[in-house]
Chains A and B, each alone.
Chain A
């Protein structure tokens, strides 16, 4: 069961819906779920029609179904592999979106890639107590998914740090801190960065990582000159991996002819790189 909570947090936002089906009553199921802290959807089916339909002759038994409705895996839930899940998730979307009208401002923040602000707003709305029942359920579901995504980023950063890749860990933490700004998970990321930066050598990487994370954001917003300037700054932090990474990224922007790219110039956008008029060398 903790295993299923983990899968729910990890893959819920990616379109995997876990449904625990029991032939017991809701009255039995509810206290059990509360005691165990089950967060994924649970269904009570006292008629046992569903287990009949699946021919279940022993529990626990699980079936993984792809978005087209085909059974792609069946067995004991503990033997389900990530590989099977990844395969089943191809083309999958979360069925509980878009959010209700009451949660429209939350959806807007998610669409703007500001999940931290979305989490903060969800918390405020839930506390305010004005949400209708469906909105409340959606708010809880969305909160779990967003927190799960943030948790994945933080866990990955921890792995990188334990693998001695301080730079990659710090870049990821800076990204997490920016995305989840305004929420608890954003604070966690900030806190972890502070801890890493206590070591003087690591601090130089953390500072470089801050510039690189910002530069990457600029690159994805097609602000190549701003990105280049940030990389150049990071390149000034000598004898660090951050400098190496910044130099590599600057070289790539140059090689791709993106220096001087103007998103509002039709020639630039038509070429997919800086046009003759705007190109910088």
Chain B
């Protein structure tokens, strides 16, 4: 497990952006959702059709 983690970290460090940073003007990738709070249930951001969306990536720490 630790080895895998280390290898991934190394790969990330060497290969620079492993995933493309989504930029202005691009189509927004949809996100599948299984656990949520503070809103009526939805299973994917595609369910929020018609709304403007502000996605914020955050952590409790």
CB within 8 Å of B: which A40-58 residues: 40-45, 49-57
**Is there contact, CB below 8 Å, between B54 and A62?**
yes
Q: Could you tell me the distance between the alpha carbons of A25 and B34 in the complex, rounded to whole angstroms?
A: 11
Set B51, B53, B57: member contacting A22, Cβ < 8 A: B57
Q: Could you tell me the distance between the alpha carbons of A45 and B27 in the complex, rounded to whole angstroms?
A: 21
**Is there contact, CB below 8 Å, between B38 and A40?**
yes
B-side interface mostly: loop
Interface centre among B17, B23, B33 (most CB of A within 10 A): B33
Q: Could you tell me the distance between the alpha carbons of A224 and B24 in the complex, rounded to whole angstroms?
A: 49
Of chain B, the residue at the smallest CB distance from A42 is: B37
User: Total A-B pairs in contact (CB under 8 Å)?
Assistant: 185
A-side interface mostly: mixed
- Tell me which of A90-98, A108-116, A239-247 binds B: A90-98
Q: Contacts A57-B21, A63-B22, A74-B24 hold; do A96 and B53 have CB atoms under 8 A apart?
A: no
Interface size on A, as a range, is: 35 or more
Q: Say yes or no: is B32 at the interface (Cβ < 8 Å to chain A).
A: yes
**Is there contact, CB below 8 Å, between A29 and B22?**
no
**Is there contact, CB below 8 Å, between B22 and A74?**
yes
Residues of chain A touching chain B, judged by Cβ–Cβ distance below 8 Å, are 1, 4, 7, 15-26, 28-30, 32-33, 38-45, 49-57, 59-67, 69-74, 77, 80, 85, 88-89, 92-96, 134, 137-138, 140-141
Q: List 9 A-B residue pairs with CB atoms under 8 Å apart, sorted by A's residue number.
A: A16-B54, A22-B58, A44-B34, A45-B33, A53-B19, A54-B19, A71-B27, A73-B24, A93-B51
